[in-house]
Amino acid sequence: MIGGSLLAISGSGIASATVRHVYYSNAHHKKNAPHKTHAGHHPHQAAGTHGKHTGHPHKATVAQRSHHTNDPHQQTVTTHSHRSNLVHKAIALHNINTGDKLNLTYFEQGRYIEDALQEINYLFRDYHTGAIHPVDPLLLDQLHELKQQLDVSKPFHVISGYRSPFTNAHLRNQSSGVAKHSLHMEGRAIDIRVEGLATKNIRNAALAMRRGGVGYYPSANFVHLDTGEYRTW
């Protein structure tokens, strides 16, 4: 895992790091080659999907979540950042639908790392439409805590990350188990599994954390996590 140089943005909860391990299955990325990102530039903007379906640039959205605290949820992100001051947080993810993989540090020296958040947003994208949406940093913190609870180093397999309203409506037509106002549409939910680990064990560890929503789907072999109110099903 490569942290790269850390370029702090003064006065915010966001920082930028230059290099980390990234693998994208897309043809325009070299297989297994470290992908470089730089402050102020998103590597996927050239693809034409970044921000296209959300109506606003992601980078401005991330900055707003750190600077403005009128919204209670934004306050939570900022406060949590201060509480976690000087904590190093890393995460490994594998999107089984696209083949994309990440193994990176997303929080360091009391700040969320902007470049890392952008890479995670891309991996979480709606692979049906290509839409990208900011992922709630608190969801990443839940995954990080879950990794510690499980004491595993294997990546979380991402079954479903962000869903556009179009995709969510389509899935609702196919299954009654898809919520009309799913938190997947807000970048606040994820469906996961870990290779070689029983989903029941993942569910039990998530329940022990008592954070957000925890859904158990043994027949589909995944666990749902979100940053809503604590509830289980």
Q: Where are the domains of the chain?
A: 6-232
pLDDT exceeds 90 at position 201? yes
CA distance 208 to 215: 13
Q: What contacts 55, CB < 8 A, 6 or more positions away?
A: none
Which one is predicted more confidently, 25 or 197? 197
Considering the domain 6-232 in this protein, what is its CATH number?
A: 3.30.1380.10
What is the residue-averaged pLDDT of the chain? 76
- Confidence class of residue 169 from pLDDT cuts 50, 70 and 90? very high
Percent of the chain surpassing pLDDT 90: 58
pLDDT exceeds 70 at position 77? no
Local structure of 166: helix, strand or coil: helix
Predicted local distance difference test score (pLDDT) of residue 227:
99
Which one is predicted more confidently, 32 or 150? 150
H/E segment holding residue 138: helix 137-150
Predicted local distance difference test score (pLDDT) of residue 98:
98
CA neighbor of 120 nearest in space, from 221, 32, 35: 35
H/E segment holding residue 22: strand 19-23
Predicted local distance difference test score (pLDDT) of residue 176:
76
For residue 83, give the DSSP letter. H
pLDDT exceeds 80 at position 97? yes
> H helices within the chain, ranges in order?
58-67, 72-83, 114-123, 137-150, 165-174, 199-209
- Confidence class of residue 23 from pLDDT cuts 50, 70 and 90? low
What is the pTM (predicted TM-score) of this model?
Answer: 0.68
- Confidence class of residue 69 from pLDDT cuts 50, 70 and 90? very low
CA distance 181 to 184: 8
Taking a C-beta distance cutoff of 8 angstroms, is the pair 91, 101 a contact?
Answer: no
pLDDT exceeds 60 at position 114? yes
CA neighbor of 64 nearest in space, from 17, 134, 124, 16: 134
Tokens 């789907």 sit at which residue? Answer: 217
